[in-house]
Chain A
Amino acid sequence: MDTDVALAKRLAKDLDAAFPVLVDAHQDRLYTIALRLLGDRRDAEEVAQDALVRAFRAMRGYQRERVAALRLRPWLASIAVNLARNRRRRAEDRQPPNQLEPMLDTGFDLPADLRSGPERRADRRETQRELAEALLRLTPAVRTAIVLRHVDGLSVAETAEALGRPEGTIKAQVHRGLRELRITFETPALRPPTTPARARAARLLPALEAIR
């Protein structure tokens, strides 16, 4: 946090000189947020890059005092979340949601952590893959709350600020999201299907949960 306060001051003083520092410090988290919201690496790359550029242009138009007072973590997250939301809506306009196969791009085809043994590594990657898929089946409002609060690691207050929702709403959405994710993992019968043929059944899961 302290480094962000210092960075905001540097941005206010000399935007061109300090912006590369912001890019270094925030590109991974903006990419992660976009990837976990959209489930597609190419879309996530574009959203993360666009978010950084929009932040740059916005700051260029702001008074110095306003730039210096920016809380960069929630502010940048809100830009990425809005761009991801617009992109998802455009995609849904082109293709009705009931024809969309679940998106399976989890962003983990890079060599895994070499410090852990092959078995643990495979387990870990399997967990990551399943969890990334489970996130994509949450409703968008719950998903954004979970991604900002628990993947990105913002506080409840920062998540509320980034999403423009009351803290109470965030707490309820995070609670609900964690519960739904836990169900996915604890009930083998309800585990996310991994083949497209079984994908449609997966969308019935929330409804099944509700009547149980």
Chain B
Amino acid sequence: MTTMTLGDAGLEAALRDLRVAAPPAVGFGALVDAGLADRYAPIETPLGQAFVAWNGRGVSWIGRADDGAAFEARFRADVGRDIAAADEVPERLGRAIGRRIAGNRRVRIKLDLRGHTTFEVAVWMKALEIPHGEVRPYGWIAAEIGKPKAVRAVGTALAHNPVPLVVPCHRVVRSDGMIGQYSMGGPDAKRRVLSSEGLDTRWLEEEAAAGHRFTGSDTTHIVCNPTCRDARRVTPQHRVTFPSLVAASSAGYRPCLHCRPVSLAA
């Protein structure tokens, strides 16, 4: 043991000497909690491995990339915040994302959608209402958010969805029923995600090509979007299809209250 005698000045100097540098995780962690920086980690999705970024305000970004470095570079360029890899997605968040992708719409996932327009956010929140395994046309979203003429803008907003899969922009298809574009890797990726939800995309595209935009039941006289779960319960001998809502209406059919089909501009 050392023997020492400390005078007042010596003791005060020794106390000052107890200052230490904070580990880097302290400052960066504070910035993440404040929503001024993000962390990211890989997640498993129906499209294989993707990356998810989050901060104290919620999930901020989901995307596919060849590796973490490529994801970071895109995040920095698009979002403009600092980002660092985490060992893994926090357990609760990872579980919630898994359940949301598996079709549980009620699981709560906080989203950090700062920097986006209220129109974009309205489009994404509406897409969240589309049930697992069903699709709606762009025009349906436009009508539902009270901007029936903004069909093209809806498409643009969906293409800019920062949190695909969690906000299911893949469930929105072209107004002619064709599958349409997808930011996570084009139409093929979109077909794969929809198939993982149990939707027969080949049937969907064949119906669209045949001009069957709406499906009705001749017993209830209710007309639906073709993928509405009510429409899919109709037995083949009672199923009727319509090229337009006007045609259905003049045949005495009323729109389904669940899927709320809307007239679509050609």
- Interface residues of chain A, those whose CB is within 8 Å of chain B, are 16, 19-20, 23-24, 27-32, 35-36, 41, 45, 48-49, 52-53, 56-57, 107-108, 123-124, 126-128, 131-132, 135, 146, 150-153, 178, 181-182, 185-186, 188, 191
| Complex CA–CA separation, A149 to B26 (angstroms) | 23
Quick one: CB contact mask for B222-265 with A, threshold 8 Å, 1 for yes? 00000000000000000000000000000000000000000000
Name the B residues within 8 Å of A127 (CB-CB). 2, 4, 14, 17
Q: Is the CB of B16 within 8 A of A150?
A: yes
Q: Is the CB of A131 within 8 A of B22?
A: no
Stretch touching chain A among B27-35, B120-128, B197-205 = B27-35
List B7-44 residues whose CB lies under 8 Å from chain A.
8, 11-12, 14-23, 25-27, 29-31, 33-34, 36
| Complex CA–CA separation, A57 to B190 (angstroms) | 40
- Interface residues of chain B, those whose CB is within 8 Å of chain A, are 1-6, 8, 11-12, 14-23, 25-27, 29-31, 33-34, 36, 56
- When A and B form their complex, which 9 residue pairs have the shortest distance between CB atoms, in order from nearest? A31-B22, A52-B30, A150-B15, A53-B33, A27-B22, A56-B34, A27-B27, A49-B29, A23-B27
**In angstroms, how far is the closest chain A Cβ from the Cβ of B2?**
5
Name the A residues within 8 Å of B3 (CB-CB). 188
Q: Is the CB of A45 within 8 A of B19?
A: no
Q: Is the CB of A124 within 8 A of B17?
A: yes
Closest to A41 in B: B23
**In angstroms, how far is the closest chain A Cβ from the Cβ of B242?**
52
| Complex CA–CA separation, A32 to B22 (angstroms) | 7
Q: Is the CB of B8 within 8 A of A178?
A: yes
| Complex CA–CA separation, A191 to B2 (angstroms) | 10
Partner of A185, one of B11, B18, B19, B30: B11
Q: Is the CB of B26 within 8 A of A48?
A: yes
Specify which of B3, B17, B18 lies most central, judged by the most chain A CB atoms within 10 Å of its CB. Answer: B18
| Complex CA–CA separation, A57 to B20 (angstroms) | 26
- 11 CB contacts below 8 A, A to B, read A24-B27, A32-B19, A45-B23, A49-B26, A53-B56, A127-B4, A131-B14, A131-B17, A151-B15, A152-B19, A186-B6
Q: Is the CB of A28 within 8 A of B5?
A: no
Q: Is the CB of A131 within 8 A of B30?
A: no
| Complex CA–CA separation, A161 to B147 (angstroms) | 56
Closest to A51 in B: B30
Partner of B19, one of A123, A151, A178: A151
Closest to A35 in B: B20
Name the B residues within 8 Å of A153 (CB-CB). 16
